[in-house]
Structure 1
């Protein structure tokens, strides 16, 4: 078996050397395709482990994992948990992971490509998680017998502080951090720590992440929308809404607004922070969708006694683990901790230990960079296909915002797109009930879709935009 493994590695190395220049993951994937098509890598051949091949080819493990994932999406390779990655056999091909729905009339036999939300490819994080669980399972038995405790979770919280080291959050101590079940749980925890009275008011952008509304409804809070412009929340409008409705909390995503991909500039953020300071209300900043490095000042840095910060690993590593974190103002961290302890005691100890493990490993940073690079490539493909229309985008955003041309309504466009085998999300999903919603849709970057299929889906959307049916013209 060892000789066979060496032969496979040598074959891949030889094929890799013969390819044209380009991004290393594409060069490697081209070499593997050639080896498979020529029979030099026959069906059922086990490929070298990611780390081993990365060392031989002098590249990062994330690059090798990205090439493997690309060919797995094309059904040329098969990844089997606990066994490795193999050249696919000659049996019946497996359906791609991104196929979510069968619908009569859709192209290619009814397969539906979902761009309804962002999806992450496996660029090495599955292996990291599996190995992390193995390391956690080997820890002392006592860790599996005690209730969660603040002292026991200190290493995980410190790992979060280090993970967020590049984010300008102002002075940050690990005791300011509460681990949550994803960012949505973190949002609910902050609301419970802040809100008071029988019918508190929460302010959100006039188009906002639906999770704000859902969390508010659970707490019987009232939602009030704040007008926006091309830079985000309008400070003067915020001051008026807060005064008129006695708003207690503003929920916002200034680093990357969901769904429009607006990035609020620093000057506007400072003006909003000043409105909050004078109005005496708190700010909850949700930073869970931006994939890049957050350099601009956060509200917690600008307004340290009134601002809360929430994020997660769902968009950069995986949403499956539901690992998030809520960060309180230093003087109010006890209130946030009590909410979590009184609500669910804390995360399961193995999950907290896995958080510590993942966030402290250098390989995790490599995987995140690979995810960022692939997402940027999909955004560029979207801009290339739809850039002639009114498109809001950022290379570090997992979605783009398409303002529809005259003649289209969001609901009609979504129905027409679905008939063509593509799912997108209408603006109505982000607007308050009974409020006006613009004629726009959000398009998610689905990393489980092979680039060729993703571009084909965009081409179908482009054809619809160019040729609206007569019956839906206004």
Structure 2
């Protein structure tokens, strides 16, 4: 005799399709512990009847939840809550900016099994073109279109992650010892590569929408030691680390300033989950914008496939730079990418990542609402602005209680700048660990010798 399910079906109170509301309701009850591992879930027809929705709607919701690793189905027995991983480390790491883990072992196993049945041996028998096989680039073009970026396959280069895509863009747009303008706080990987390659990185003042056009205009009109043209590295959507997102007016102003001074743009769009209606800068100025993205932030960190959309006149040079930095993007990774894109798993995971990031941001708000800058849209990090010395003391205090945060020096374009802050990444840890970490961070802030709120200026 089958045991009755302990779950009373309901739909989450939100403006969304019934399947999404059912997914949210069940995910909330599983992640908060109201449903435990191995608890039975009601049959599809039972839920459909009690909620007045179609059986297909329930099936769609269960499929999404199984892809996320929250439930498992057993032939002839039913559907059950899957066991969630618990704490594995003594230290909770909030310093690595990754999305929540949503590709389950079962889904990865099915993906690899499907690949093994239909793999093309020619993918492994010869070197691919520098920018990747054309069919893989076409699939990437379709994926980018879902994020709001329109591109041609001939202008897309597949790279080993967004880091390599940025390295190629930096190499093509800069001469040795050249200057790159960016936000005053920016992506640590861009900072380290610029310093390693010998570029001069100049941080510019920002506000709540990111890079300020007036400050950029003033910086670009200054002499640059004989450098021809200028290069601007910018993250318009879910800026890392400040979380700022540019509105359409700000994006047009930035493009106008760059056209005025004939500056090239390197646009980092890896944190966009397609939730904004604002076009990328590359759509507004395709003739001068190098657009970088990656599946690592929108599907899974282990899927190291980046894409670089290159302006028409720079495609040849970019391909040469890519070839010089790496022989090829992994054929196996491309095969995994193709399978995930074709069978719809990647799109499902991207949607689920957006929902899960919202859940984690709301949890962070419950502890740090009045202290931290939160993103306007979904994202994996929050920003605690404060003076540099205060930020360094905060990082030391966090480490002392077993919480790793991004050190303030890692995000500062100018190592000598006084203003800065702490980036807190909420995507990587398990939800239970994240709650513990946020409680400790809240206590550190409250027990600080400085009773005033942290410095909130973006300057």
Under TM normalisation by the shorter chain, which class is it?
0.7 to 0.9
Which residues of structure 1 form unaligned runs of 5+?
1-6, 42-53, 70-76, 78-84, 100-110
1:155 is the counterpart of 2:157: no
Asked if structure 2 preserves the Cα contact closer than 8 Å seen for 1:15 and 1:35, the reply is no
- Mapped partners of 1:223, 1:408: distance in 2: 22
User: 1:434 pairs with 406, 415, 419, which one?
Assistant: 415
How much has 1:338 moved relative to structure 2? Answer: 2.5
Asked if structure 2 preserves the Cα contact closer than 8 Å seen for 1:286 and 1:309, the reply is yes
* SS of residue paired to 1:60: helix
Q: Which residue in 2 is equivalent to 1:274?
A: 256
- Mapped partners of 2:380, 2:411: distance in 1: 16
Residue deviations 1:278-323 (CA, integer Å, cap 9, x gap) = 1112000001123343421221111121011001011222121311
- Mapped partners of 1:312, 1:298: distance in 2: 15
* SS of residue paired to 1:400: strand
Asked if structure 2 preserves the Cα contact closer than 8 Å seen for 1:200 and 1:221, the reply is yes
Residue deviations 1:24-83 (CA, integer Å, cap 9, x gap) = 2244676852856xxx99xxxxxxxxxxxx9986623222344638xxxxxxx9xxxxxx
Which residues of structure 2 form unaligned runs of 5+?
13-24, 42-55, 73-79, 455-459
Q: Which residue in 1 is equivalent to 2:444?
A: 464
User: 1:415 pairs with 379, 396, 399, which one?
Assistant: 396
Asked if structure 2 preserves the Cα contact closer than 8 Å seen for 1:163 and 1:360, the reply is no
User: 1:202 pairs with 175, 180, 187, which one?
Assistant: 180
Asked if structure 2 preserves the Cα contact closer than 8 Å seen for 1:311 and 1:326, the reply is yes
Aligned residues: 417
- Mapped partners of 2:139, 2:361: distance in 1: 30
- Mapped partners of 1:87, 1:342: distance in 2: 45
Residue deviations 1:199-251 (CA, integer Å, cap 9, x gap) = 21111111111222222233322212222222221222212222322562111
* SS of residue paired to 2:290: strand
1:424 is the counterpart of 2:405: yes
Stretch moving more, 159-168 or 431-440: 431-440
CA 1:26–1:265 in structure 2 vs 1: closer, same or farther (change >3 Å)? closer
Q: TM-score, normalised by structure 2?
A: 0.80
- Mapped partners of 2:355, 2:207: distance in 1: 30
Stretch moving more, 378-387 or 141-150: 141-150
Q: TM-score, normalised by structure 1?
A: 0.78
Stretch moving more, 389-398 or 362-371: 389-398
* SS of residue paired to 1:239: helix
Stretch moving more, 358-367 or 433-442: 433-442
Q: How does 1:129-278 map to 2 (within 5 A)?
A: 129-138=108-117, 139-149=119-129, 153-170=133-150, 172-196=151-175, 198-244=176-222, 245=224, 246=227, 248-278=230-260
Residue deviations 1:123-155 (CA, integer Å, cap 9, x gap) = 235544443333334424333211113697111
How much has 1:332 moved relative to structure 2? Answer: 2.5
Q: Which residue in 1 is equivalent to 2:87?
A: 96
Q: Which residue in 2 is equivalent to 1:374?
A: 356
Residue deviations 1:353-397 (CA, integer Å, cap 9, x gap) = 222222222122112211211111000111121112242333411
Q: Which residue in 1 is equivalent to 2:16?
A: none
Q: Which residue in 2 is equivalent to 1:403?
A: 385
CA 1:178–1:469 in structure 2 vs 1: closer, same or farther (change >3 Å)? same
Asked if structure 2 preserves the Cα contact closer than 8 Å seen for 1:15 and 1:32, the reply is no
RMSD: 3.5
Q: Which residue in 1 is equivalent to 2:36?
A: 33
Q: How does 1:358-397 map to 2 (within 5 A)?
A: 358-397=340-379
